[in-house]
Each structure stands twice: as C-alpha cells, then as structure tokens.
Structure 1
C-alpha cells in the first residue's frame, strides 16, 4: 500500500524577474514501511521535493496524497496537525537547544503538542538510540553522531508514521554516518516509512530503493535489496 503519492509536482520560484523551475512534473509513490533514498547534485530539487512531501511548502502544481487523502491544499492549521501526528523531521543541522539535556531535547515536541512526557517512553527511546548513559548531557558534551541521534529521537516522540531526513549525515564523519543509517534501517524494520535526501550515493544504497533527481526531474529509479547484515 502506498503511504505517500505525489503526482506531477511542479515548483516555480521567482527570483526578481527570473522564474526558477525547481521541480518539473515529479511523480513518486512511497510504500508503507519503505526506506527510500533520494540522491542528486546540489540544486537538483531534492530538498524542495522533501519540503513538499512534508507539507512544509506548497507545490506550484500537482498533488500530494497521504494515506490516500489529498493534502495538497489543506489550510495551515490542518497541515500542522498532519505534520505533528504523521511526520517526523530530521535535518542536517541538529537544532538542539543548547541549555537543555539530551533527554529534555528529546521531549521538546511534547510541549508543542501539549502532551505530558512519559518517562518510560523517553528512556526507551534513549536506550534504542544507544544514549541511555547520555540523557543528562548537554549538546556540547555530545559528539556529532550523538547529537544527530538525539535529533532522530526527537522526531520519534510523537510516534510518526513517516520520517523525512534532509542530509542527516552531512555534518558527520563516515563512521557516525554509517551508524545513523543503521538506525534508519532499524526504524524501517519497526514499520516506519523513511525518505532520506543525501548526496552520499554509497550510504543511499543501504536503503530499499534509490531515486535520482536532476534539474527537477526524476532521471532514474534503482531498486535495492538490502542485506540485513550490511
């Protein structure tokens, strides 16, 4: 079953008198429980596509469906609800609050959704992230890979069905990057759907499927069969 369906997406930006066509008729389906990587050069439209799929931006044309429901033209309040209840976001920058511990950063989304933190759930996520011993540490006391794992845990706090990640390993060394992709694979095995934008073609191959976007157009699709021991 397709969790996300995008059809004929276009995105046009106006830069002075110039029109920039960032997306040019992109059609894409993502199945429930699939781990998808999107690769392409800088300026190819990867982030723009991710922002539209995550309801952070509106397309100039085309449609986006989530669970079969058209979410393209929802009002902002409705979009906020879909994002809060369905989607978790991970970015290249960690965006951790420097004066909050790892545990407090993890629980931050609950403040915005007006939910009371569940200490057992928080500790369970810290354990899954391999950070049970780092919960009381401030961001400056964590490595880059640990900070990104906190950011991923934060994205999981509202029990999303979809994780959207934009260059999540862009600021990490190769060893930390591989650990992040191992974590993504674990989350896929737990039933989450993941869409990850990356410039690293080798890491991208650890997903179930890789698509390439260039100049706003999907140029090819490559299906992957992931080895559980990879």
Structure 2
C-alpha cells in the first residue's frame, strides 16, 4: 500500500473495485477512498484501442488466455497513444504551421503502429519512435517559445522539487521533464510554457496563469493543486479537487 493507492495488488490482478461491466465502482470518490493515483493516470485511449480494436471486443474475462498479452500490451500501446496526443496538439498550434506536413506524417505513422497485431506491437522499438517524434516536438517547442530570453527560461529536466517559485516569470519557459513536485508556483506566469513530461505532483498552482501552456495533460493538472483563480488551457478541465 502507498500514499497514492489504498490497497496492494499484484500486476495483472484486477482491482477489487472493478465492476462486472468494467467500470470503476468508486470512480466518484477515488480521492477520499485513498486512490489518488488512479485520478492522475491516463492511458490516452490505449486501453480502449486494445480492447475494442486490437482484440475486437474480446474480453480477458471470457478468454483468460488473452489476459497476459493484453496486460503486456498496455504500457506499449499507451506510449504510442501518448505520442499521438502530443502530435494532435502540435497540429493545432499556429506557430508550428511550418512543421504541419511532418507532424501529420508522424501522426499517420504512429497511428498505423497502433493497428498492428499484438505480437508486432510488442516487438516495436518504441524508444526509437519516441525519439523521432520528440525531435518534431522539440522543433514545435522552439517555434512556440520564440522570443524567450534568459537562462531561467530553460529549465529542461531541472530539479525544482519544493522550489519557491511564487510569482515567478516562467513565460515561455522550457520546463520539459522538470521535477516540480510540491513546488510553490502560486501566481506564477506560465503562459506559453512547454510542460511536456513535467512532474507537477502536489505543485501549488493557485493563481498561476497557464494560458497557452502547451503539451500539458489533464493528468498533470489532476496531480497538482489549484484554486478558482488558476488559469488553465482551454481544452483541459479544472480538477474537481481544486478548491
């Protein structure tokens, strides 16, 4: 048992809260029930792709022999769907228009990989595909953050655990993969910041402005703290646990 999950279970063992129709029996009260980890996980649609397309709607309950392969497939498919998520967002960003053709081609290529047979997906060199897509996402980031100045704007992979960044000017900052766990980002200016892979667990975003921040996912917001004055990008929703 951990701080994020109220129970222990082995990998591949169904959660005791899984209902007969494959829904979560405590979905509306996950946090108060001690399952905070579930509220910050996102498979980016990979689970649905596997169950409905890869296996054509066949259930691991009805066909137990498929269970292990399905479970092994999920982390691989999730990575592919995560790439599709970022590519889809990049294609909507006006400054990235010069890259639109390359981004669209990469999107089609990754989508084709998700339609392969299970054994073929498991044999993929996902790291190589991630690297190729990441090169495009880096170029997208450079176009989005054009005009950013100062060393403090490049905090890629920085260890900012618990950092005191209240009111910080992080406009158009590169925060890719930054460790912002429990950081004080109240009233910080995060407009146009690249937040791909940034760890925002328990970061305080109260009053922060994340307008036009990009490559930010719902799960990252769900992991953070915020309040009614926190400004978030239009496609995302305000987490229910924010005050």
Question: TM-score when scaled to structure 2?
Answer: 0.36
Larger radius of gyration: 2
Higher helix share: 2
Higher strand share: 1
Q: Which has the higher contact order (CA 8 A, sep 6+)?
A: 1
Question: TM-score when scaled to structure 1?
Answer: 0.37
